[in-house]
A = this chain, B = another copy of it.
Amino acid sequence: MAEKFESDLLRGSLDLMVLSVLASDPQYGYSIQKRLQEASREKVRLPAGTLYPLLHRLEADLLIRSWLDSSTGRQRKWYALTAKGKKRLTAQAAQWQQYADCMQSLIGNYLPAS
């Protein structure tokens, strides 16, 4: 129970996960981490060394934008989806769906009876 997914499984999907978390409302790094953790029932636990470089990449690609909030004593860096990011989210989600369908048809026979 609560054993993490293999790292390589996440590869190529983490961007999509983070974009989807940011879709509903702005978040800061740590809250993204917690949300993902919660939404996946502890199966996705992004180490800081994964999360922050990822956010920097997304921002460099203009998929998200950020601003600092120092008003709360503890400094937080908030992130929000850009228009480009929203487009990317729907595009990536659609592609992921196709990919999942493909995998499903390949491995369907070897899945435990549901």
Query: Which of A's residues lie within 8 Å of B, judged by CB?
Result: 5-13, 16-17, 20-21, 23, 39-41, 43-44, 89-90, 93-100, 102-107, 109-112
Contact = CB atoms under 8 A, between A and B. Distances in A.
A37 to B, nearest CB: 11
B12 A9 contact: yes
Contact of A107 (B8, B44, B96, B112): B96
B99 A5 contact: yes
A60 B112 CA distance: 27
B96 A17 contact: no
B11 A102 contact: no
Contact of A17 (B89, B103, B112): B103
The 9 A-B pairs at the shortest CB distance, nearest first, are namely: A8-B12, A9-B12, A11-B11, A93-B107, A93-B110, A20-B107, A20-B106, A40-B102, A100-B100
A5 to B, nearest CB: 5
A23 B108 CA distance: 12
